[in-house]
């Protein structure tokens, strides 16, 4: 792998992760980018014309059952990652890779205490309020790895849920720290503390 500074990292495997649109490395990989600057992949997650190359997650436009690209969701990335790994192992065993079939488990969003929305099931039933909030917590807890992480999350979420008297967190430094994402002044720190 060749880096911008001219250095080289010897590797036989490259894994890139990040972003909701194709990274510049994806756009410059020698394949015309598809929608969102992502790589259009075959049903088995391979990149046409590049033997042994798979693209998944936010780097790829993965075709769904209807031929349209699947949405850029964490569940698509997780499932496609698992399928790509299985296909790599199949190829190493001298077998053909199998096509990816996404299992849609629905969409959820948590807005606040007892405030969440979800679309679940084959017919996209809509659920909101405390039921969707509890479902969101359950699903996200199950996605955590390890019993320790799950139990810590449940304890912290339980404490946050029942502790209604917490004061808002304030920045108490004389110079608040914030990441500048660009040259826009509006992205900079905007809190001014009066000194007494």
Task: Give the domain extent around 43.
Answer: 1-103
How many structural domains is the chain composed of?
2
173 within some domain: no
Same domain, 114 and 131: yes
Q: Is residue 115 part of a domain?
A: yes
Does 175 fall in a domain? Answer: no
| 92 shares its domain with 114 | no
91 three-class SS: helix
Residue 169 lies in a domain: no
55 and 135 together in one domain: no
What angle do the packed helices 147-162 and 130-143 form, to 10 degrees? 150
Residue 25 near residue 17, CB atoms below 8 Å: no
**Is the Cβ–Cβ distance between 102 and 64 less than 8 Å?**
yes
Report, as an integer, the average pLDDT of 113-142.
83
Least Cα distance to 134 among 153, 115, 106, 159 occurs for 115
**147 and 54 share one domain:** no
- Looking at the structure, do residues 68 and 122 belong to the same domain, yes or no? no
The pLDDT value given to residue 98: 96
Query: Do 9 and 86 share a domain, yes or no?
Result: yes
Instruction: Over range 140-150, report the average pLDDT.
Output: 78
Please give the average per-residue pLDDT across 126-130, as a whole number: 89
Least confident among 20-29, 91-100, 146-155, 177-186:
177-186
The share of the chain scoring above pLDDT 90, in percent, equals 20
Whether residues 36 and 74 fall in one domain = yes
What is the distance between the alpha carbons of residues 186 and 52, in angstroms, rounded to a whole number? Answer: 44
In a domain, 189, yes or no: no
**pLDDT band of 105, cuts 50, 70, 90:** confident
If asked whether residues 91 and 137 sit together in one domain, one would say no
Res 41: pLDDT: 93
């Amino acid at each position: 792998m060749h880096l911008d500074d001219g250095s080289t990292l010897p590797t036989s495997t490259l894994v890139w992760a990040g972003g909701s649109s194709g990274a510049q490395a994806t756009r410059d990989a020698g394949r015309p980018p598809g929608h969102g600057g992502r790589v259009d992949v075959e049903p088995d997650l391979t990149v046409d014309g590049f033997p042994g190359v798979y693209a998944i997650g936010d780097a790829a436009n993965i075709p769904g059952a209807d031929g349209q690209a699947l949405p850029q969701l964490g569940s698509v990335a997780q499932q496609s990652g698992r399928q790509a790994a299985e296909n790599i192992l199949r190829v190493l065993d001298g077998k053909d890779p199998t096509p990816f079939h996404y299992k849609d488990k629905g969409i959820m969003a948590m807005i606040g205490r007892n405030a969440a929305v979800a679309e679940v099931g084959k017919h996209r039933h809509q659920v909101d309020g405390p039921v969707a909030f509890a479902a969101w917590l359950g699903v996200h807890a199950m996605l955590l790895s390890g019993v320790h992480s799950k139990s810590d999350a449940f304890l912290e979420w339980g404490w946050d849920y029942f502790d209604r008297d917490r004061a808002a967190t304030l920045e108490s430094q004389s110079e608040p720290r914030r990441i500048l994402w660009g040259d826009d002044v509006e992205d900079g720190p905007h809190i001014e503390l009066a000194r007494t």
